[in-house]
Amino acid sequence: MAEIRIAVVGAGVAGMSCAAELARTDARVTVFERSRGLGGRLATRRERGATFDHGAQFVTARSRPFSKFMEDAARAGIAAPWRPRLSEDTRIWDAPIEDWYVGVPGMSALVRPLGRYVQLLSGTSVHELYSREGGWELVTDAGRHKQLFDAIAIAIPAPQALTLLAPYSRTFRHLTDVVFAPCWSAMLAFTDPLPVPAEAMRWTSGPLAWAASHASRPGRTSSPHSWVLHASAEWSRAHLELDARDAAQSLYEAFAAALDFTLPVPQVQLAHRWRYAQVERALGLPCLVDQESGAGTCGDWCIAPRVEAAFESGRALAHSLLSVVGLQAPPTRR
């Protein structure tokens, strides 16, 4: 039997979960990722000695497969519970009803075990797909990839997946049903700790939605003292095309106003725009697959705005594609 080759585009949680499940069979799996690292929104940025988890802030585990995955990660020392001191202001905070976990030493550590048995081509953008009689051909930064793939998994935000897949099947027109909210994330580092009693704060109105102290997370250094701020969806939409420096300054000022005191001048002040940050309307399916062409797509946006949903969606797509190429899905881990 000829070797089965499957391509995965995107090395976030959904893509790596899909790739890891595919790799548990005899398939040869290649992951294409435009960034240099893994994790997608499980992101950590380092700047002038300061570190910021500026994407997804924590993960929760509800399903059996993801709970098992997180238990294994905790035993391996790459995940740990995060229990920050919360704001006592009940107007801006609802206490969490489930445990929060973070990656150690950064959020992207959670996905690294998923890449153990796959070929990862980082720093490689996929610009076009071509459906050939022998399979799928990918066009990347370096031109046409030399290998054909029997099936392809697209694990990127729905609007970007639609651009790649729309020409090949009407199945993928449903991607237009998915709605995202953007998020501006500000990263501030101060020489000394801020005189605030809380290490995590949430707001339901105004320009800010979230603020968290990086030093409160397990496995992080406390110097310099870093904070991550997330703008609200409304503010982010209204200022989507703002220059990053202006966004950082505006959110710094909003943070000072929310705390009601004058903040010191930060030694690091940055901002990052997540254009597809939060799923507001999900697809309502575990994944989306066109059986005839052997192509499918997955992401948290299929199910719900949670890291766990991305993990489950990736697994679902892997099982669907294995059926398409005639391989048996691996047994469920217990």
CATH number for the domain that contains residue 126 = 3.50.50.60
Query: Over 50: is that where the pLDDT of 91 sits?
Result: no
On whether residue 255 sits in a domain, the answer given is yes
On whether residue 333 sits in a domain, the answer given is no
Residues 174 and 188 in one domain: no
Residues 265 and 166 in one domain: no
On whether residue 223 sits in a domain, the answer given is yes
Provide the residue range defining the domain that includes 268. 45-109+179-280
Name, of 49-53, 168-172, 307-311, the range with top average pLDDT.
Answer: 307-311
Instruction: Tell me the torsion sign for CA atoms 121, 174, 21, 41.
Output: positive
Please enumerate in sequence order all residues whose Cβ is within 8 A of that of 265, keeping only pairs 6 or more positions apart, or say none.
none
Residues 245 and 301 in one domain: no
The amino acid that residue 37 corresponds to is G
Q: Share the mean pLDDT of the chain.
A: 93
Please give the radius of gyration of the chain, using alpha carbons only, rounded to the nearest integer: 21
Nearest to 106 by CA among 58, 67, 65, 49: 58
The CA-based angle 44-237-172, given to 5 degrees, is 80
- At residue 221, the pLDDT reads 77
- At residue 96, the pLDDT reads 65
Distance of CA 146 to the CA centre of its chain: 29
More confident residue, 10 or 143: 10
Over range 5-29, report the average pLDDT: 97
pLDDT in tens, 316-330: 999 999 999 988 887
Over range 70-79, report the average pLDDT: 96
Name the band, by pLDDT with cuts 50, 70 and 90, for residue 95. low
pTM for this entry: 0.94
Buried b (16+ CB within 10 A) or exposed e, 61-75: beeebbeebbeebee
- At residue 97, the pLDDT reads 66
Name the band, by pLDDT with cuts 50, 70 and 90, for residue 146. confident
Residues 174 and 227 in one domain: no
**CB of 29 closer than 8 Å to CB of 19:** yes
On whether residue 237 sits in a domain, the answer given is yes
- At residue 197, the pLDDT reads 84
Name the band, by pLDDT with cuts 50, 70 and 90, for residue 90. very low
Question: In percent, how much of the chain has pLDDT > 90?
Answer: 85
On whether residue 315 sits in a domain, the answer given is yes
On whether residue 269 sits in a domain, the answer given is yes
**CB of 273 closer than 8 Å to CB of 184:** yes
- At residue 134, the pLDDT reads 77
The CA-based angle 123-127-131, given to 5 degrees, is 125
pLDDT in tens, 31-58: 999 998 899 999 999 999 899 999 999 9
Name the band, by pLDDT with cuts 50, 70 and 90, for residue 333. low
- At residue 54, the pLDDT reads 96
| 50-52 and 45-47 strand pairing | antiparallel
Over range 183-209, report the average pLDDT: 94
- At residue 241, the pLDDT reads 97
Around Cβ 133, how many Cβ atoms within 10 Å?
A: 5
Residues 25 and 154 in one domain: yes
Over range 278-300, report the average pLDDT: 97
Residues 134 and 250 in one domain: no
- At residue 93, the pLDDT reads 52
Please enumerate in sequence order all residues whose Cβ is within 8 A of that of 136, keeping only pairs 6 or more positions apart, or say none.
7, 129, 130, 148, 149, 150, 151, 152, 294, 295
pLDDT in tens, 219-255: 887 778 999 999 999 999 999 999 999 999 999 999 9
Residues 256 and 196 in one domain: yes
Residues 290 and 167 in one domain: yes
Residues 101 and 186 in one domain: yes
Residues 189 and 91 in one domain: yes
On whether residue 172 sits in a domain, the answer given is yes
The amino acid that residue 157 corresponds to is P
* Domains: count for the chain: 2
Residue 8's H or E segment, with its range, is strand 5-9
Query: Over 70: is that where the pLDDT of 61 sits?
Result: yes
Residues 133 and 195 in one domain: no
Residues 22 and 64 in one domain: no
Query: Over 60: is that where the pLDDT of 122 sits?
Result: yes
CATH number for the domain that contains residue 58 = 3.90.660.10
- At residue 94, the pLDDT reads 57
On whether residue 297 sits in a domain, the answer given is yes
